Amino acid sequence: QVQLVESGGGLVQPGGSLGLSCAASGFNFYNYVMSWYRQYPGKEREPVAYVFGRLLNYTDSVKGRFTISRDNAKRTVYLQMNNLKPEDTAVYYCHAQYPVENGREYWGQGTQVTVSS
């Protein structure tokens, strides 16, 4: 059974830091592109960052503040978020996709990140 289980969300003040983790099971983690998405209320999910091998990519609004990483031995992907802003408040989702056209994909259940004073 495929599972992506996120943890680490919560409430933080502007300028603070949070680290998210996503533990994967049930598929060949090493061969999948691992990503973090976020979703604002009433909006579609949008990509935040992805990692595949040595390839890293970030959406412009988080460059220099967020760092994505993965530990294939632990089957876990991480998102370290620094200098958080109120506009980072969203539900964050872990995503896995096999890197071919229409490749199989999986989603986590989401974790709330709230940046507020």
Distance of alpha carbon 41 from alpha carbon 19, whole angstroms? 22
pLDDT digits (tens, 9 = 90+) for 53-71: 999 999 999 999 999 999 9
Nearest to 93 by CA among 38, 40, 53, 47: 38
Q: Which tokens sit at 30? A: 């090493």
- Answer whether 91's CB lies under 8 Å from 107's CB: no
Summarised one tens digit per residue, pLDDT across range 10-38 is 999 999 999 999 999 999 999 999 999 99
**Residue labelled with tokens 């031995």:** 73
